Structure 1
Amino acid sequence: MGTIRFGMFFSVFVAMVGLMIIAPVMPPLVRELGLGEMHSGLIISLGSVAMAVMSPFWGRWSDKFGRRPVILAGFAGMFVCYALFTAVMYAGLHGLWSGSLLITALVATRALIGAFIPAVPSSAQAYMADVTDAQGRSAGMALIGAANGLGLVLGPAIAGGFILIGLIWPLYIGALLPVVAFAVVLLVVPKRKAVVHARPPRIDPLQRGLRLYLLSGLTVMLCIVSLQVVGGFYFQDQLGLTTKETARFVSFGLMISGFSMIGTQGLLMKRSKLAPRRQLLWGALLLIGSLAIMLLFAQLYVYYAAYLLFGMGAGLMMPGFMTGASLAVSSDQQGGIAGLVGTVQGIAAVVAPLLSTGLYRVDKHLPYGLVAVLLLVLAASLLLAQRSKANAMERSLGH
Structure 2
Amino acid sequence: MADNASDLTPSRMPSILPILSVNFVGTLGFSIVVPFMVFLVTDWGGNALVYGVLASTYSVFQLIGAPILGRWSDQIGRRKVLLVSQLGTLASWVVFLVAFYLPTDTIIQVDSGLLGQFALTLPLIILFFARAADGLTGGNVSVANAYLADITDDVHRTENFGRMAMSTNAGFILGPALAGLLGASVLGEMLPVIAALLISVVASVLTYFGLTDTHADMLRTKPGLSNACKVFGQDTKEVYRLKGCSETPKTDLMRLPRIPQLMLVNFLVMLGFSFFYIAFPVHAATRLNWTVTDTGIFFAVLSLFMMLVQGPLLARAAKVVSQRLLVTGGGLILGLGFVALFWNTTPSIYLAALLIAVGNGLMWPTFTAVLSEFAGKEHQGAVQGMASSLSAAASIIGLIGGGLLYDWMTAWVFLLSAATITLAALVAFALPHAGSGKPAGAVAGAST
Once the two structures are TM-superposed, the CA of residue 180 in structure 1 deviates from its matched residue by 0.7
| Contact 2:51-2:278 within 8 A present in 1 as well | no
* Residue type of the alignment partner of 1:142: G
- 1:123 maps to 2:143: yes
* Cα distance change, pair 391–24 in 1 and its aligned pair in 2 (3 A): closer
Once the two structures are TM-superposed, the CA of residue 373 in structure 1 deviates from its matched residue by 0.9
Q: Distance in 2 between matches of 1:389 and 1:288?
A: 28
Partner residue in 1 for 2:435: 386
Partner residue in 2 for 1:288: 332
Q: Distance in 1 between matches of 2:324 and 2:23?
A: 22
* Cα distance change, pair 190–340 in 1 and its aligned pair in 2 (3 A): farther
- 1:195 maps to 2:240: no
| Contact 1:141-1:319 within 8 A present in 2 as well | no
Q: Distance in 1 between matches of 2:129 and 2:16?
A: 34
**Which sits farther off after the overlay, 138-147 or 107-116?**
138-147
**Which sits farther off after the overlay, 308-317 or 98-107?**
98-107
- Give 1:73's match in structure 2, choosing from 72, 84, 92: 84
- 1:259 maps to 2:304: yes
Partner residue in 1 for 2:5: none
Q: Distance in 2 between matches of 1:49 and 1:321?
A: 25
| Contact 1:53-1:343 within 8 A present in 2 as well | no
Q: Distance in 2 between matches of 1:202 and 1:116?
A: 26
Partner residue in 1 for 2:102: 92
Equivalent residue of 2:273, what SS? helix
* Cα distance change, pair 248–59 in 1 and its aligned pair in 2 (3 A): same
Gaps of 5+ in 2: 1-9, 109-119, 222-244, 443-448
* Cα distance change, pair 32–391 in 1 and its aligned pair in 2 (3 A): closer
Structure 1 residues 95-142: Cα deviation after superposition (integer angstroms, max 9, x where no partner): 8x997765544322320111112x111112223334456675444443
Partner residue in 2 for 1:396: none
Once the two structures are TM-superposed, the CA of residue 189 in structure 1 deviates from its matched residue by 3.0
Aligned positions of 1:1-399 closer than 5 A = 4-34=15-45, 38-87=49-98, 89-93=99-103, 103-117=124-138, 119-132=139-152, 137-163=157-183, 164-166=185-187, 167-196=189-218, 207=253, 208=256, 217-231=266-280, 243-244=288-289, 254-267=299-312, 282-292=326-336, 295=339, 301=347, 304-319=350-365, 343-356=389-402, 361=408, 363-364=412-413, 365-381=415-431, 383=432, 385-389=434-438
Q: Distance in 1 between matches of 2:324 and 2:27?
A: 23
* Cα distance change, pair 248–105 in 1 and its aligned pair in 2 (3 A): closer
Q: Distance in 1 between matches of 2:318 and 2:152?
A: 16
Once the two structures are TM-superposed, the CA of residue 60 in structure 1 deviates from its matched residue by 2.8
Q: Distance in 2 between matches of 1:249 and 1:28?
A: 12
| Contact 1:14-1:151 within 8 A present in 2 as well | yes
Gaps of 5+ in 1: 394-399
* Residue type of the alignment partner of 1:174: A
| Contact 2:334-2:358 within 8 A present in 1 as well | no
For the pair shown, which has the larger CA radius of gyration, 1 or 2?
2
* Cα distance change, pair 179–243 in 1 and its aligned pair in 2 (3 A): same
Q: Distance in 1 between matches of 2:272 and 2:131?
A: 25
Once the two structures are TM-superposed, the CA of residue 267 in structure 1 deviates from its matched residue by 4.2
RMSD, matched Cα: 4.7
Q: Distance in 2 between matches of 1:15 and 1:267?
A: 26
**Which sits farther off after the overlay, 21-30 or 363-372?**
21-30
Once the two structures are TM-superposed, the CA of residue 350 in structure 1 deviates from its matched residue by 1.7
Q: Distance in 2 between matches of 1:153 and 1:306?
A: 17
* Cα distance change, pair 308–135 in 1 and its aligned pair in 2 (3 A): farther
* Cα distance change, pair 221–127 in 1 and its aligned pair in 2 (3 A): farther
Query: Alignment length, in residue pairs?
Result: 382
| Contact 1:56-1:339 within 8 A present in 2 as well | no
* Cα distance change, pair 339–192 in 1 and its aligned pair in 2 (3 A): farther
* Cα distance change, pair 36–226 in 1 and its aligned pair in 2 (3 A): closer
* Cα distance change, pair 148–352 in 1 and its aligned pair in 2 (3 A): farther
- Indicate the percent of aligned positions where both proteins have the same amino acid: 23
* Cα distance change, pair 235–289 in 1 and its aligned pair in 2 (3 A): farther
Q: Distance in 1 between matches of 2:393 and 2:354?
A: 26
Once the two structures are TM-superposed, the CA of residue 170 in structure 1 deviates from its matched residue by 1.8
Q: TM-score, normalised by structure 2?
A: 0.66
More helix by share: 1
* Residue type of the alignment partner of 2:90: F
* Cα distance change, pair 43–286 in 1 and its aligned pair in 2 (3 A): closer
Once the two structures are TM-superposed, the CA of residue 35 in structure 1 deviates from its matched residue by 5.4
* Residue type of the alignment partner of 1:315: G
* Residue type of the alignment partner of 2:309: T
Q: Distance in 1 between matches of 2:440 and 2:129?
A: 53
Structure 1 residues 292-327: Cα deviation after superposition (integer angstroms, max 9, x where no partner): 365489686576455334323433555556667788
Q: TM-score, normalised by structure 1?
A: 0.73
| Contact 2:58-2:131 within 8 A present in 1 as well | yes
Q: Which has the higher contact order (CA 8 A, sep 6+)?
A: 1
